[in-house]
Structure 1
Amino acid sequence: MTLEQLRYLVTLAEEGNFTRAAERVFLTQPALSVQIRRLEEELETRLFDRNKRPLEPTEIGRRVIAQARRVLEEAEKIKLMLGGGAELFQGLFRVGVIPTLAPYLLPRLLPQITRQWPQLKLSVREELTPSILQDLLEGRLDAGLIGTAEQMPGLERLPLFEERFIAYVACDHPLYSSPTLHPSEIPLEDTWILAEGHCFREQVLAVCRPGVARRRVEFQSGDLETLVHLVEEVGGITFLPEVALWTLPLPKWNHLRPLLPEVGRTVHLLLREGTLKRPVALALGEQVQAVFRSLPRGDRLG
């Protein structure tokens, strides 16, 4: 088993296709197939299910690929030791961001990063928290931005900032006349929420008063902006994290109501323990904090 074979293995897993993977590693497709087959023979196991399209790793293959990524990362550390670490802010850095953060932070965050580290190639994916956790553990991501305090072996979690949840209330709703809302006042049956799988959904459900009636229309969205439009056109209430206020036109701030007592979440940076790219991840976290400090805040509401 060689480092080159492990690199071929990881590339094939990322591409899911022998032809594209071969192009990336500058081999012919038959030559790459031979290398993967030799590795499987040495390990005495099948690493890929070749009947799937795109190509998928077997269960044992996923574990081997995750370990191969760690081995390649450790090998890269040796080069960096000799080079003084200057190469850390070059090459590819992969980040996963939950959907209730991505539309608000990224438009301001990405230009700052590309200006500060022009040699860094940033790959950003909008994903739900479970996918971010899995991709971090298996080496498909270098960092993640999430809104829950996940604690998993092998992952380091660093708090970045705390933000409040703000209610967005329709003009014809009885609570619209209240300058502030107590969470126990807000009925679940009046509240538009995100679809299952979003951590923000569970956080909102924990805030609302349990429902005793059902809505005439049941709808669950994966997008906060859709929920805002539903409040405006259909009625009811939804919730927004403070980061979402940046994109909200000022006339719509009339619909916002702070919660007392305050309810919110802590946004965390996740990275693999011992990762080679930890300095890059920490620098990213500092930029996220700076962006959050610059955004319109819910404290303007009182």
Structure 2
Amino acid sequence: MNIRDFEYFHQLVKEKNFSKVAQNFSVSQPTVTLAIKRLEEEFETTFFIRDRSHKELLVTPSGYQFDAHLKVILNELTIAQKEALRAKQEKLLFGLPPIIGNYFFPNIVSKLIATGLIEQLETKEAGSQALLKLLLDGSLDFCLLGSLEPLTQPALKAETFAQTSFKIIVSKQHPLAQKKAVYFSELKDERFIVHNEGFIHDKVLKLLAQKEHFRPDVIYRTNYVHVLKSMVASNTGIACLTDIALSPNDDFSVLDLLDEHQPKFLLSIVTRATQVMTPAKKQLLDILHDTVYHSPLGKETKQ
């Protein structure tokens, strides 16, 4: 067995065509055929059946089962290659959603400067769901992530350190500004400013609207919380926003949600379960712990 045999096999399950797999890897078709034969002999089973009457290749149940294992193996090998390269470069790749970053990163960066780790750090800003995918494929080492449920995937090591609520924000000129709280059902005729897909806020809006059986009228999407806030302040639309994104200087009104069983915004420090802690990674993790647990949110969680 060799890694290339695994790659041929995985691609063949997807393509179900020897010629396409051979073309994809720039090898001859007999090369792919022999690789599959080697695997079938090694595991003493049949992974593929040629249905010559219909001119198609069928994957057997054992073939699909083997491919499920190969996906994990090939992904781990890809991660290992990325980590080996980063070890040579002495880089620490850190994922940070914009809202969580605005709240925590100023305190984190001051400690990184003091310890000298800032020279090794490369940050990636995106929505929590997008960053989670990058963490799982080995493109990031650590993340501060938001989620609606605890992150319990076997491939992850996640530590939830706080949870917050979601609020509705409206312009001070909006009729709802006279209220202190609303049910989400009262918002079915409103226009919404929303974060792009890949952000937890987009998912929350969909969940709340689905529960009330209406589709929200989304008039604008953005990656930037300051753009969202300014559009709400100008009465272009309303928005749903976690309260850690709110500031005393915001020029709009904030309403509580009265609905029962509202989603909560969970904040977690996340890394891969297989990640080996180098001294630099351990130092970064210590800084993250110290920062989040000494924040007002972290202190509330500890109490």
Residue in structure 1 matched with residue 116 of structure 2 by the alignment: 118
* Distance of 1:290 and 1:272 partners within structure 2: 21
Measure how far apart 1:130 and its partner are.
Answer: 4.3
Write out per-residue CA displacement over residues 148-188 of structure 1, whole angstroms, 9 at most, x where no aligned residue: 13443321111021112222112232321112223333326
Aligned with 1:167: secondary structure?
strand
Residue in structure 2 matched with residue 258 of structure 1 by the alignment: 256
The letter of the residue matching 1:112 is K
Measure how far apart 1:271 and its partner are.
Answer: 0.6
Aligned with 2:266: secondary structure?
strand
Residue in structure 1 matched with residue 196 of structure 2 by the alignment: 195
* Distance of 2:294 and 2:254 partners within structure 1: 22
Residue in structure 2 matched with residue 283 of structure 1 by the alignment: 286
Aligned with 1:161: secondary structure?
strand
TM-score (norm 2): 0.59
* Distance of 1:274 and 1:214 partners within structure 2: 43
2:79 to 60, 66, 72: 66
Aligned with 2:98: secondary structure?
coil
State the Cα RMSD in Å: 3.6
* Distance of 1:228 and 1:203 partners within structure 2: 17
Write out per-residue CA displacement over residues 79-138 of structure 1, whole angstroms, 9 at most, x where no aligned residue: xxxxxxxxxxxx5322111233223322232113332x2246322111233442333233
Report sequence identity in percent. 18
* Distance of 2:167 and 2:216 partners within structure 1: 23
Q: Are the structure 2 counterparts of residues 201 and 292 from structure 1 closer, same or farther at C-alpha, using a change threshold of 3 Å?
A: farther
Asked if 1:204 corresponds to 2:210, the answer is no
In terms of mean alpha carbon deviation, does 231-240 or 278-287 score higher? 278-287
Q: Are the structure 2 counterparts of residues 133 and 231 from structure 1 closer, same or farther at C-alpha, using a change threshold of 3 Å?
A: closer
Aligned with 2:229: secondary structure?
helix
Q: Which structure would you say has the larger Rg?
A: 2
* Distance of 2:297 and 2:128 partners within structure 1: 25
Q: Are the structure 2 counterparts of residues 68 and 222 from structure 1 closer, same or farther at C-alpha, using a change threshold of 3 Å?
A: closer
The letter of the residue matching 1:172 is Q
TM-score (norm 1): 0.60
Residue in structure 2 matched with residue 249 of structure 1 by the alignment: 249
Asked if 1:239 corresponds to 2:230, the answer is no
* Distance of 1:99 and 1:132 partners within structure 2: 11
The letter of the residue matching 1:118 is G
**Count of residues in correspondence between the two structures:** 218
How is 1:155-170 mapped onto 2 (pairs within 5 angstroms)?
155-170=156-171
Q: Are the structure 2 counterparts of residues 135 and 191 from structure 1 closer, same or farther at C-alpha, using a change threshold of 3 Å?
A: closer
* Distance of 1:97 and 1:185 partners within structure 2: 33
Are the counterparts in 2 of residues 100 and 224 from structure 1 also a CA contact under 8 Å?
Answer: yes
* Distance of 1:212 and 1:119 partners within structure 2: 46
Residue in structure 1 matched with residue 50 of structure 2 by the alignment: none
Q: Are the structure 2 counterparts of residues 221 and 286 from structure 1 closer, same or farther at C-alpha, using a change threshold of 3 Å?
A: same
Question: Tell me, which stretches of 5 or more residues in structure 1 are unaligned?
Answer: 1-44, 46-58, 77-90, 298-302
The letter of the residue matching 1:257 is L
Residue in structure 2 matched with residue 23 of structure 1 by the alignment: none
Question: Tell me, which stretches of 5 or more residues in structure 2 are unaligned?
Answer: 1-34, 36-70
